[in-house]
A and B are shown apart, each in its own frame.
Chain A
Amino acid sequence: MQRHPAAFNANAAEALLDADLQAALGAAEAGFGVKRRKAIQGLPEFEALCDQAAAIKDHVLDHLDVYLQRFEAQVFAAGGMVHWCEDAQQAREVILKICRSVNAKTVTKGKSMVAEEVGLNPFLEAHNIRPIETDLGEYIIQLAEEPPSHIIGPALHKTKDQVSDLFHAHHAPLGFTERQSSGEALVGEARAILRQKYLVADVGVTGANFLIAETGSTVIVTNEGNGDMTQIFPRVHIVIASIEKIVPTLEDAATLLRVLARSATGQEMSVYTTFSTGPKRRGDADGPEQFHVVLLDNGRSAMLGGAQRDMLRCIRCGACMNNCPVYMAAGGHAYGATYMGPMGAVLTPNLEGVKRAQALPFASTFCGKCETVCPVRIPLPKLMRELRSAAHMARLTPARERLWLALWSWVAQRPELYHRLGGAGMRILAMLARGKGRFGWLPLAGGWTGTRDFPAPQGENFMAQWARGEKDTP
């Protein structure tokens, strides 16, 4: 797999032949759909809540500068610090500076896609600070030296056997000499090893699902509890989050929480929803001495003014990829980018440029399921269509493809000619396929016939039948 969005087609072809990956994806696809449906059935107001959730995010985007100011003021009032970062490099530098100010040797990390977006781990490693992922899925892929393949299930592409091998290889030197094959034992091993890390780390880094303007709180939503131990025990808690994560009030957070877990994992509520506000108070029994919020823009402020703005409503539940036939066949690594699936196919060209990521908006059948399941009503197919159009207009798509499209569009704008050509083509194909009813190979259609037969037309198209007067026949 190449880690570049332009390699999507080659990556996807490779992914389809990867038996382990296909087994892992198969297990995931079966689970996600059923769980989400069940959770939604238990809440009749779900669709109305989604409408409100989308409206909350739209309202925030309309007043984003004012909300960010308020959030900053509230973090400050609680004794914390806010660091503004225009791009990934600034975010990495700020975090390094904070780590160095306390002579940090190890940094524990809760799960954060924004930390992934800025490439925090390799940067810290290059500066002799050891980042330790504590979310089990993130821990697995850190050992495997792979990027996440799903925004909420980073190791979704791994089978249990692969995890067994990986743990055996990495944990044997730590005294866990037996290769474990049961899930319980594997979880137990990771638990025992990571437990030590929380207590000795100098700095804990977490992401944030929401930033509450009313209170200056950052919110994480998790099931394992690692994100909490990551921020409770070290002296310094750093939160890295992108600017569009703002939510006005606790009441608004309640609405978003009601749709988030149900859309993501099909839970009524995730196990741990934690609001963190400032450092520990005077006299508090525990908590960090320093609280830093690193706010990342990285292209989002520009998206705000354009046609792709709706994408900024995203709350990163992952429902779009869980319900995407392309994601579930190709897996997350095929996208060659931080974000994958339909949301990644829209966000990546916006963050990394249409030129670099133009292949991703084409990684969709436009079946529309992603838009149907999106809890904040993001019109993902429409946004992908706009990006396809932008790639076409900028001549970033293959020249041959553009030529055929231009030819087709010229003919399609001339109905008489279109029907004549269509009818003639159909008769010729029907004649050629006489007796078989299908083609194993067709010129110009190798992409189709390479893996399956092309059904032969039955001799006449609809327009011809209509003209023959069959319009009254049911």
Chain B
Amino acid sequence: MSQQRMAIMDKIRASHRARGIGSSQQAVDARLNARAQNLVPARGRLTGDALRARLEQFAVKSQASIVSVAAPRDVPQAIGAYLTAHHLPGPVRLCGDGFLAAMPWDLIARFNPATGAVQETDGVGVSVALCAIGETGTLMLISGPNAASGLNFLPPAHIIVLRAGDIVGALEDGWACLRQAGNGQMPRTVNLITGPSRTADIAQTMYMGAHGPKHLHVIIVDNHA
């Protein structure tokens, strides 16, 4: 135990004594074990079609665009259509997620889709969301062997593929997905993404694409295994 650590702890405890309170291991354990939810706003408690509509509404409000496709095999063409409509160049960098691996990428061979480490020259990054949070139109992505966090930030356009069954109401429901995915362990990086990158640092005016992607596009897959 470092000397500095002890000194800080001593000062904290002296301050507690000065107030006539004592910290309690039991109180802390109880709170950490309970993981009790605080007030969850009504807008985070929607389900079904209302939840789906709310997610789409807030995603658009955050300046993202969002479309649905029927099945995983429709994703590459949806990406091709989006890139063409927005005059966005490839190459398309795919994350290593198995969900993407099974899709017919040869349909958009003109955008050079490929997996592997993200390059500075990549035009588009494609990731798979762990879940999406209807309350704010937020996408949750986690890092792992098949998911580089850099892919979410470096290319100028970011496309997130979302299974319709992974849409949840509130942030708290997102935490449940996260705990389940990691089997209790946190991944190195959890990205909560709400819209494309922006800045208001020049004269309080909003400009898109500050450092991260200028474009964020969400593709919901309705029927998935």
A positions within 8 Å CB-CB of B: 24, 27-28, 31, 43-45, 48-49, 52, 56, 59, 62-68, 70, 78, 84-86, 90, 134-137, 140, 153-156, 158-160, 163, 183-184, 186-188, 191, 194-195, 199, 213-217, 223-226, 228-229, 232-233, 243, 248-252, 254-255, 257-258, 265, 267-281, 283-287, 295, 297, 301-306, 309
Contacts and interface: CB of A to CB of B under 8 A. Distances in A.
Interface of B: 2, 4-5, 7-9, 11-19, 21, 23-25, 27-28, 31-32, 35-39, 41-43, 58, 61-62, 95-96, 117-118, 120, 136-138, 143-150, 152-154, 170-172, 175, 178, 186-205, 207, 209-213
B8 A297 contact: yes
Contact of B61 (A31, A229, A257, A268): A268
Nearest to B13: A65
Contacts of A284: 143-145, 188
A156 B31 CA distance: 40
Given A137-B201, A186-B202, A213-B32, A274 B4 contact: no
Contacts, number: 279
A226 B172 CA distance: 26
A455 B207 CA distance: 47
Given A86-B4, A232-B189, A195 B120 contact: yes
Contact of A199 (B15, B25, B36, B120): B120
B197 A252 contact: no
Contacts of B138: 269, 273
A43 B15 contact: no
A172 to B, nearest CB: 18
A280 B8 CA distance: 29
Contacts of B117: 285-286
B203 A136 contact: no
Nearest to A196: B120
Given A158-B203, A243-B8, A258 B41 contact: yes
A43 B23 contact: no
Contacts of A255: 38-39
B201 A155 contact: yes
Contacts of B192: 269, 272-275
Q: Which among A85, A194, A225, A226 has the greatest number of chain B C-beta atoms within 10 A?
A: A225
Nearest to A212: B186
A191 B149 CA distance: 19
Contacts of B17: 305
A283 B138 CA distance: 27
B210 A229 contact: no
Nearest 3 A-B pairs (CB), nearest first? A225-B212, A305-B15, A137-B201
